[in-house]
Structure 1
Amino acid sequence: QTGIGFWLRAMFGNPATTGSGDPYTHVFRVTKSQPSLVLEQQYPDIPAYEKFNGCKVNKFSFTYGGDTELTANIDILGAKRTVGATSFASPLTALPLLKFSNFQGTIEEAGAQLAIVTEASLNADFGLDGNTYTIGGNGCRTDLPEGILQVSGSIKAFFADTVLLNKAVNNTKSSLKFKFTSGTHSLQFFMEEVIFQQTSPGIESEKGIYINLPFKAFYDSGAGGSAIVATLVNGYASYATV
């Protein structure tokens, strides 16, 4: 619940934060450029420290549903790697390990909660250009320019009616909200403008019929001004950088 805020900042930049105490509300929106990070992987018992300069998040994804642990996949591209015997930043601040789980998740479509979804996924591809090696650059990337953000995903649901299927067939714009709630803390991803892609329901077993609906999110005229808005509510005061 705390650490995910730093990854959201890496993707979207500084959030708009409100609140004078726990809980604080941090709202992240798509910006024109991503922050550049310095990351370090530590092996203090050896000792060896790998430092990665000029890092950016290239892709972010997660799938939830079922009883497995809820995890996110984060793909990172960097410019330069160096190995040293000491850490470049010390001492480090340990963050509390507070998790969201699959059982705390809900999905809203067009403002109404969906109770028929068994699995959902979300993918954000920032389209970084990793082929920016130059002559005289000593094998390091000289830049990591962003491409066009692609936000997509899918939902798998019981085929109980044709409402979602008809929206896909008719190319009807809708919205999706993925939310995880733990007490007063929460994490949500809101996509104000979404189009479902056409698929046909399938019989996976004798127990029922399911429909898989891929979707793409975009920004056209939504009031939020962003293809995706991430809102994190937790006890951490600020994710802003100078």
Structure 2
Amino acid sequence: MARAQGARAQLLLAFESTYGTAPASGFTRIPFVRSTLGSEQPLIDSDLLGYGRDPLAPIKDALTADGEVSIPLDAHALGFWLKGAFGAPTTTDNGDGTFDHVFASGGWDLPSLAIEAGLPDLPRFAMYSGCVVDQLSWTMQRSGQLTGAVTLVAQNEAKASTTQGGTPASIELARFGHFNGSIKREGSALANVTSAQVTYANNLDRVETIRSDGLIAGADPSVAALTGRIDARFADETLLDQALAGEACELEFAYALADGSSFTLTAHAVYLPRPRVSIEGPQGVQVSFDWQAALAASPARMATATLINEVASY
């Protein structure tokens, strides 16, 4: 009888020193919920005539490797994905066993990752090299499991029957929950919010050069975007007034644990569209704002992500 292979699935991650080349060591076992990371190579139908009604054999098209990894928002493992999305952080030792890792938007040098998705019971181990983070997103709500989504663009997939990740390091799980979340506007708690969505995108441009192996040459970041959605009970007109005035505000999305670990994403200049205010029944009136962040005057960037934990470096 076939085993439930997904129960023992594992995801190993390491940063590459050379794009597209997986390192021989330095992998870390990363917690994840599910993964669609994979590669595909479609077939091109034959266009030749003169051989009868039955077609000739198809030929292979270019290789595409990408996918999405659903992750828990964890105080330790999240740093790897933030580094992939924003670039290397500025780390400060607080002197009490904790470290502040500050990730700033706007950088051009995004690291590439090697990610191995393993199914030990099969056995099947797929190494995806040249992975670059395209998007990092999550949803804030009142209850349920807090998970995020990381969208990746990879260069290649190499399959093996044994792990290529060596002996991976393990990290302590310190998972944030929806109960640990908060949203602030200009430093004050934003009231009456029922849910919020946050998406940071690098808008990667695949470098599709002509190569004999059919792989991309890289994935370059273009103009970044920080967008989302706020659903709020229409109890006051603070957000509506800002939307009508066309002014920007600072929004802070944060999580904090009792041990001092925390994650904060600050969008320094957020603009709100004028929403439709609809009355659809006897329940409370709810308004949705599809917000966009932009470059702020001070600090001179769009966003700052700060992760405080016990990890010395990423």
* TM-score scaled by length of structure 1: 0.93
Q: Comparing 103-112 with 135-144, which one deviates more in the overlay?
A: 135-144
Q: How does 1:77-88 map to 2 (within 5 A)?
A: 77-88=153-164
- Letter in structure 2 aligned against 1:142: A
> Match for residue 249 of structure 2?
174
Give aligned pairs, total. Answer: 237
Find runs of 4+ consecutive structure 1 residues off by over 4 angstroms. none
Q: Comparing 16-25 with 168-177, which one deviates more in the overlay?
A: 16-25
Q: Bigger radius of gyration, 1 or 2?
A: 2
- 1:227 is the counterpart of 2:302: yes
Distance in 2 of aligned mates of 1:118 and 1:180: 16
Distance in 2 of aligned mates of 1:212 and 1:22: 41
Ranges in structure 2 where 5+ consecutive residues have no aligned partner: 1-74
1:2 corresponds, among 67, 76, 87, to: 76
Q: Comparing 76-85 with 14-23, which one deviates more in the overlay?
A: 14-23
1:12 corresponds, among 67, 86, 108, to: 86
> Match for residue 10 of structure 2?
none
Distance in 2 of aligned mates of 1:25 and 1:159: 37
> Contact (CA 8 Å) 1:21, 1:237: kept in 2 or not?
no
> Contact (CA 8 Å) 1:56, 1:144: kept in 2 or not?
yes
1:133 corresponds, among 208, 222, 230, to: 208
1:48 corresponds, among 105, 124, 128, to: 124
> Contact (CA 8 Å) 2:268, 2:296: kept in 1 or not?
no
What is the CA-CA distance between 1:200 and the residue it aligns to?
1.9
Residues 25-75 of structure 1, C-alpha deviation per residue, up to 9 Å, x if partnerless?
Answer: 111112122111111111222322101111101111111112111110111
What is the CA-CA distance between 1:204 and the residue it aligns to?
4.7
Give % identity: 28
Ranges in structure 1 where 5+ consecutive residues have no aligned partner: none
- Letter in structure 1 aligned against 2:241: N
Distance in 1 of aligned mates of 2:112 and 2:192: 40
Q: Helix, strand or coil for the counterpart of 1:145?
A: strand
Distance in 1 of aligned mates of 2:257 and 2:237: 32
Q: How does 1:104-119 map to 2 (within 5 A)?
A: 104-119=180-195
Higher normalized contact order (CA 8 Å, seq sep 6+, divided by chain length): 1
Distance in 2 of aligned mates of 1:141 and 1:8: 24
* TM-score scaled by length of structure 2: 0.72
> Contact (CA 8 Å) 1:204, 1:210: kept in 2 or not?
no
Distance in 1 of aligned mates of 2:166 and 2:295: 41
Distance in 2 of aligned mates of 1:137 and 1:199: 51
Q: Helix, strand or coil for the counterpart of 1:53?
A: strand
> Match for residue 98 of structure 1?
174
What is the CA-CA distance between 1:107 and the residue it aligns to?
0.6
- Letter in structure 1 aligned against 2:202: F
Q: How does 1:52-67 map to 2 (within 5 A)?
A: 52-67=128-143
Residues 74-122 of structure 1, C-alpha deviation per residue, up to 9 Å, x if partnerless?
Answer: 1100011111123222101111221101111111112211121111110
Distance in 2 of aligned mates of 1:203 and 1:99: 38
Aligned residues: CA RMSD: 1.4
